[in-house]
Amino acid sequence: MPQHNPIRGRFAPTPSGKMHIGNAMTALLGWLQIRSEQGEFILRIEDIDQQRSRPELAQGIVHDLKWLGLDWDEGPDRGGPHSPYNQAERHALYKEALSKLNAADLLYPCYCSRADITAAASAPHGIASEGRRYPGTCRYLAQAEIKHRERIKKPSLRFKVPDETITFTDGIAGEQSHRPAEGGDFVVRRADGIISYQLAVVVDDALMGITHVLRGMDLLDSTPRQLLLYQALGYHPPQFVHTPLIADAEGKRLAKRSRGLSLSFLRGQGIIPERIVGWIAWAAGLIDRPELVTPSDLVPHYHIASIPRTVIRLTEEARQLLLEPDNNPL
């Protein structure tokens, strides 16, 4: 009988705020996807931007996940064959990837500020998460001009995006066709030396052997760029699933600073983890009504087809089911 490697998934939070109910949904669905296939689940802390990340918040994330009843096979607290599991400790790997891209003539230095890009007449909006499209100002600078600008400021490094169509199949959004060039050449290393999310996540997922990526729908438009990097670096891309976000009653996306919806707040109100897990499972379409369940209870109920395709609205009724359990018995 042939041996089949287990599928591998991950939850990769940024420790810049407390975990809220939306983060918990992503973590739970990612865990269920992997455990339902007897796969391996990895926890990775995306703390590459040390100015935004805080160690105590990373510790809080680990505590929150364990409190919910989630576990993982590899991670910063237990190690594993692909350590380290904190991005802040993986700079040598990112540097190696940059060298490979540079050797293939796929990078160029960029001296533009955000104000320069915004002011450019030919800078329409790019991908939703990054604002204005980069107009390509520095892509064709002469060597003499590059040397002149180097004396004035440190450059970022941008990836040369080819003018081609990228297609892929998302587990929820379905068939996708994008032209990444419409978003412009993108940064892979900032001027301050920090590696961009786009490059770091590709390197980490590839080197950790991640086969399945489940994350929020807000990252769907980053996927074509990441697929370009997978191709350029010679990596095999994972399968992608982009889940709907949780929004408030007006449709505004929940943020890490959303008052009253952090797991630490809910825990402080005496709300038990089984109630939160049950509420998430109900909101995600896995069960018909909120009930007290553990993550393990939900493994047989995980079916990707059950997950909504659109934003999940946190209506007042849904909020009451979560925040006022005494008045709304499960």
Active-site residue 154, yes or no? Answer: no
Q: What does the alpha-carbon distance between residue 35 and residue 31 come to, in Å, rounded to a whole number?
A: 6
Question: Are the C-beta atoms of 240 and 170 separated by less than 8 Å?
Answer: yes
For 300-323, b/e burial (b = at least 16 CB within 10 A) is eebeeeebeeeebebeeebbebbb
Alpha-carbon distance of 73 to 79, in angstroms, equals: 9
Residue 94 CA from chain centroid, whole number? 17
Torsion sign over Cα 250, 252, 253, 259? negative
Least Cα distance to 9 among 228, 209, 308 occurs for 209
> One of 66, 147, 154, 256 is an active-site residue; which one?
256
Closest CA to 68 of 247, 284, 287, 298: 298
Distance between start and end Cα atoms, the chain: 47
State how far the alpha carbon of 9 is from the alpha carbons of 30, 47, 86, 299, in Å: 7, 19, 16, 15
- Catalytically active residues are 256
